[in-house]
Structure 1
Amino acid sequence: VNLLSRGHRKPLLKDFATTGTIFGFRNGRVFLAIQEDPHCLPTFIIELPMLTSALQKEMASETVRIALESETKTSRKKVLEEFVWGIYCNGRKMGYSIRRKNMSEEEMYVIDALRGVSMGAGVLPCKNQYYQETEGEMTYMRARFDRVIGSKDSEALYMINPEGSGQGTELSIFFLRSH
């Protein structure tokens, strides 16, 4: 049953924070999904050119900055509508990725399973036993982000730590279009 396709619901959270989900198989690549409402499909999903285990090692540090840079010459569309991205993590070039138009069955399973989760991290049971044996467990981190739109060519997401918590990793995600 696809619970994401139901009609519009009242939001559980009163503010308008963006939801970001980082997930991937332990032995596979990591995905980034951005949702305006956790009950709706992501407006942006991309497979990052880095292993989940490598990102988890980066998350052990106090600050993680992921930059997605588009080299498209046009500025007729919003920066998050671009398709080809150069990916950087803490200043190191990781490679290139292409934004997805449609989600795979496994990606849809993760987003659907986390529909009621506003923030947290953990492991999801694999839908397919083959993936469990070859790729390892499906890990995720889901958080709410402050979204800052600088211009048509730049946006940033800053992870919101739980109230009263000055601890934990500081995660920022930047979307830039260089001309």
Structure 2
Amino acid sequence: MEAADQEPPQKRSPFSVSALRAAFVSAVSWRRRQPSHVTLTLFGRRRGHVFIAFHVSDLRRPPAALVELSAATCQLTREMSSGLVRLALECRRRRHVAAAPLLEEDTWQAFCNGRKWGPAARREVAAAERRVLAAVGPASMGAGVLPWKEEDEEGEVMYMRGRFERVVGSRDSEAFYMVNPDGNAGPELSIYLLRV
């Protein structure tokens, strides 16, 4: 009789707060393990979407992954003006499918400083993105504004490139911590890739 009175256990959402917290703890706790360094380029037109290019080798070659956020570039610049940005890209673990490397996942949910920023997606590097990355050149770090012209549209592209410490916590968590040159103070940016 007691068993009949018990309510069935509720199914937990794969995007629960506890799962996100556990993934963050996993990524941070592994920070001391053999970090490597990569270069990330964040760019976008002022009123366009933010792109993140992950360069794990020669900057003259196409990036290993290009992710487009649905957030506008002006949103990111506002967050960076506060001096602290924690950007999390969270994807869902697919059942009965072998886990691919995190940078090969196709779709994400983005969070910035704890707030939901909408979907994000991996993109092929198109001609427009190639032109931006070529204009930034082989420099390993820097920030600025580039003139932009496409068909009848003119404007500017904002960009920021920096070296990041890449820490692989597990096959489901990676963290990228921006390295400020010579220990100089500057915007603190961390990017987390999480599979939950």
What's the CA shift for 1:131?
3.0
TM-score if structure 1 supplies the norm length? 0.83
Is there any run of 5+ residues in structure 1 with no aligned partner, and where? 1-15
Greater per-residue helix proportion: 2
CA deviation profile, 1:32-75 (whole Å, cap 9, x unmatched): 11101212211110111111111100000121011000013245
Equivalent of 1:34 in 50, 54, 59: 54
The alignment status of 1:144 with 2:163, answered yes or no, reads: yes
Superposed structure 1 runs of 4+ greater than 3 Å apart: none
**Which residue number corresponds to residue 7 of structure 1?**
none
Tell me how many residue pairs correspond in the alignment. Answer: 158
Deviates more, 1:73-82 or 1:143-152: 73-82
Give secondary structure in 1 for the equivalent of 2:182: coil
Is there any run of 5+ residues in structure 2 with no aligned partner, and where? 1-35
CA distance in 2, matches of 1:41, 1:48: 19
Q: Give me the identity figure in percent.
A: 46
What's the CA shift for 1:98?
1.6
The 5 A counterparts of 1:61-80 are 61-73=82-94, 74-80=97-103
* Residue identity opposite 1:62 in structure 2: G
CA distance in 2, matches of 1:34, 1:130: 30
- Which structure is larger by alpha-carbon Rg, 1 or 2? 2
CA distance in 2, matches of 1:129, 1:68: 32
Alpha carbon RMSD of aligned pairs, Å?
Answer: 1.4
TM-score if structure 2 supplies the norm length? 0.76
**Which residue number corresponds to residue 120 of structure 1?**
142
What's the CA shift for 1:127?
4.2
Give secondary structure in 2 for the equivalent of 1:137: strand
The 5 A counterparts of 1:75-154 are 75-100=98-123, 102-128=124-150, 130-132=152-154, 136-154=155-173
CA distance in 1, matches of 2:127, 2:60: 17
